[in-house]
Amino acid sequence: MRIGVIGSGALGLYYGAMLQRAGHDVCFLLRRDLQAISAQGLQVNSVGGNFHLPKVHGFATPEAIGPVELVLVGLKTFANRHLVELVRPLVGPQTFILTLQNGLGNEEQLAAAFGSEKVLGGVAFLCSNRGEPGIVHHLGEGKIRLGEFAGGASDRSRQLAGQFAAAGVPCEAVSDLRRARWEKLVWNIPFNGLSALLGQDVTRLLGNSDSRRMIEQIMLEVASGANAQKLTEPIDGPAFSRQLIKATEQMDHYQPSMLLDRLAGRPLELEAIYQIPLRQAIAAGVEMPRTAMLHNLLEIGEES
């Protein structure tokens, strides 16, 4: 399969590399890493075993890539004003698009431009970051849950999940993408936000009784907001929160992406992870006051 990766950061580089190693023709849209990868290839340092791709197809513009069978979107959502223009040159009659971006609203933007029948979404449970140009570090996890934007089970989503699995990426096709998105938010909203606000990794957040209690409270709040969204099956807030916290306790001093963005002076993904979920929850009659407070405090940091 010919695949175009838009948003070749830690997520896009890792999943693209795994797919290329499995035999797919992967084309990466690159900026910072273009020169290094063109000259030296792509190095993946992974808990599952390091590997090097000596020849990688890197491109400076989406027009140079042209139409592909699958567009894999890993773009940071604060750059979504450019999303459609970056994806459009890669879309042909048989193309479908999978966005693995954080938060809510990404599938809607792509569906408005290209048609809902072309769009799938997914949530990635991945601990990774970029090193020097041409190097990506896979620190743990990696599972993807993906599904049709239009909802329901499909052969296409099952086949795509199978291709990821064959490439060494655990992947599950789901029939309720909205539920999967909100489940990821139960983790993303407290851990990403508090880590960026306090400058602490997940181990330190859980090690402090006050921040741990706040994490638990926000998780329950987000689960309540999710369950107002007409999901096919409700999220068991207390049980699911305990499950997520137990998994996070194994992520030794992991720094969430929002903390890394703040440390690097990059914008935060506030609209997709906070503003849209808050609007959807309020529209369904559910207030999320701790989430709103966290968003407001993070927004102050964006103004400085």
Per-residue confidence (pLDDT) for residue 189, from 0 to 100? 98
pLDDT in tens, 92-103: 999 999 999 999
Cβ atoms of 212 and 241 closer than 8 Å: no
Alpha carbon 108 to chain centroid, angstroms: 16
Cα Rg of the chain, angstroms? 19
Residues 6 or more apart whose CB falls under 8 angstroms from that of 198 comprise 205, 211
Cβ atoms of 121 and 98 closer than 8 Å: yes
Per-residue confidence (pLDDT) for residue 215, from 0 to 100? 98
Asked whether residue 163 falls in the same domain as residue 192, the answer is no
Q: Which helix (H) or strand (E) holds 187?
A: helix 177-198
Active site residue 184: yes
Confidence of residue 20 (pLDDT cuts 50, 70, 90): very high
Model pTM score: 0.94
Q: Which of 154, 175, 196 is the last residue of a domain?
A: 175
End-to-end Cα spacing for the chain: 45
Higher pLDDT, 32 or 212: 212
Asked whether residue 13 falls in the same domain as residue 143, the answer is yes
Q: Which two tokens stand for residue 198?
A: 């306090």
Q: Which domain holds residue 265?
A: 179-303
Write the single-letter amino acid at 117. E
Asked whether residue 136 falls in the same domain as residue 244, the answer is no
Per-residue confidence (pLDDT) for residue 304, from 0 to 100? 60
Helices and strands counted in the chain (H then E): 14, 10
Q: Could you give the percent of the chain with pLDDT greater than 90?
A: 93
Asked whether residue 227 falls in the same domain as residue 135, the answer is no
* Over residues 177-200, mean pLDDT: 97
Return d(Cα 55, Cα 62) in angstroms, integer: 19
- On the question of pLDDT at 131 being above 90, the answer is no
Asked whether residue 30 falls in the same domain as residue 169, the answer is yes
What integer best gives the mean pLDDT of the chain? 96
Q: Which of 159, 175, 191 is the last residue of a domain?
A: 175
- On the question of pLDDT at 222 being above 80, the answer is yes
Nearest CA-CA partner of 257 in 211, 201, 297:
201
Q: How many domains does one find in the chain?
A: 2
Asked whether residue 157 falls in the same domain as residue 183, the answer is no
Return d(Cα 189, Cα 182) in angstroms, integer: 10
Per-residue confidence (pLDDT) for residue 75, from 0 to 100? 96
Q: Which of 175, 207, 231 is the last residue of a domain?
A: 175
Asked whether residue 170 falls in the same domain as residue 184, the answer is no
Vertex 233: Cα angle to 232 and 235 (nearest 5): 135
Per-residue confidence (pLDDT) for residue 302, from 0 to 100? 87
Q: Which helix (H) or strand (E) holds 233?
A: none
Q: What CATH number is associated with residue 94? A: 3.40.50.720
Asked whether residue 51 falls in the same domain as residue 149, the answer is yes
Per-residue confidence (pLDDT) for residue 162, from 0 to 100? 98
pLDDT in tens, 21-70: 999 999 999 999 999 999 999 999 999 999 999 999 999 999 999 999 99
Asked whether residue 171 falls in the same domain as residue 130, the answer is yes
Q: Could you give the percent of the chain with pLDDT greater than 70?
A: 100
Per-residue confidence (pLDDT) for residue 52, from 0 to 100? 98
Asked whether residue 87 falls in the same domain as residue 208, the answer is no
Asked whether residue 10 falls in the same domain as residue 142, the answer is yes
Catalytic residue among 76, 118, 143, 184: 184
Asked whether residue 141 falls in the same domain as residue 216, the answer is no
